[in-house]
Amino acid sequence: MKKNECNVVRDLMPLVLDRVASDESRELVEDHIATCEECRKQYDEMRSALPEDTRAEYEEDRKQFTDALKSVRKQRLKRRVRMIALAAAICLVVMLAGLFAYDALFWKMSVPVDNSLYTLSMCEMKDGRYIVTADSSRIGFNTMTENETICEDGKDICYIRFQAAPIHPDSGTKIGPEKWVVLEIEYAGEDSDDEIRQGTPGNYVTVWKAGQPIPAASEEMERYYALEKTYQQWFNSLPVTEDGYVDISNDEFFTWQDRLEEARTAVPEWN
């Protein structure tokens, strides 16, 4: 292919030097001799053999052509960049529209999961946070959690429920026994008027209400969150690549994942 291209370019050289070649042929010759030393040497020899006046006219013509070619290529590059940017923007819009449409359709078509299919439990961390754990092992659909706070008789009632969409249930992602959902809520302690309920205002189970004690989190849960905090500090200290991504290629990252998974599976509230 390289040899054939050289032969074609060498056939075009006289036409280019006589200034009778088409712009496409001239561009082909210019591009080729920029990378092929043998053809460039032959081209320079043929150009040097031109009469002085003819060579001067050729050099001026070549300069104008080269300037025009640079302008054309710049315009081509700009058009290519615009097309790529437009295509990327269209893909992004379509993707976002699809996500919004799916989310809207999910919530429109979804219904609360029956309370008998999952349970909620609540515990208090030493730092004052309240952790609600959902046992979702018996839910067979792709689900989402939803919280709604309603004020009743001067107290805040938080309804926590799973929503399941009856859209292609067989292809949904089953939440198996190894899955768990943790919600961190901001509620006052035993002296508040707050209440935590599982379900909907018309069909609920009370998880906790004012005056009831809140079990302390297990030592395993405290240990997991302490480990997770240390992991986040380590992760935030990792170098960032030129593309803006965190470099997670080192073995220590996977070691951390194993440690976190081992600590998580040891938490009795989540098993």
pLDDT single digits (tens) 213-265: 888 999 999 999 899 999 999 888 887 777 777 777 677 888 898 999 899 88
- CB burial string 217-228: b at 16+ within 10 A, e below: beebbeebbebe
Tokens at 124, concatenated: 């208090």
How far apart CA 256 and CA 152 sit, in angstroms, is 45
**Within its chain, how far is the Cα of 125 from the centroid?**
33
- pLDDT number for residue 167: 52
H or E element: which one contains 148? strand 143-152
pLDDT at 183: 57
Q: Which of 174, 162, 164, 153 is nearest to 204 (CA)?
A: 162
Instruction: Give the global pTM.
Output: 0.50
pLDDT, tens digit, 9 for 90 and up, residues 96-113: 888 888 777 777 777 888
- Ranges of H-type helices in the chain: 2-17, 23-33, 37-48, 52-109, 219-236, 251-265
User: Which of 195, 215, 7 is closest to 126 using CA atoms?
Assistant: 215
Report pLDDT digits (tens) over 71-96: 777 888 888 888 888 888 899 889 98
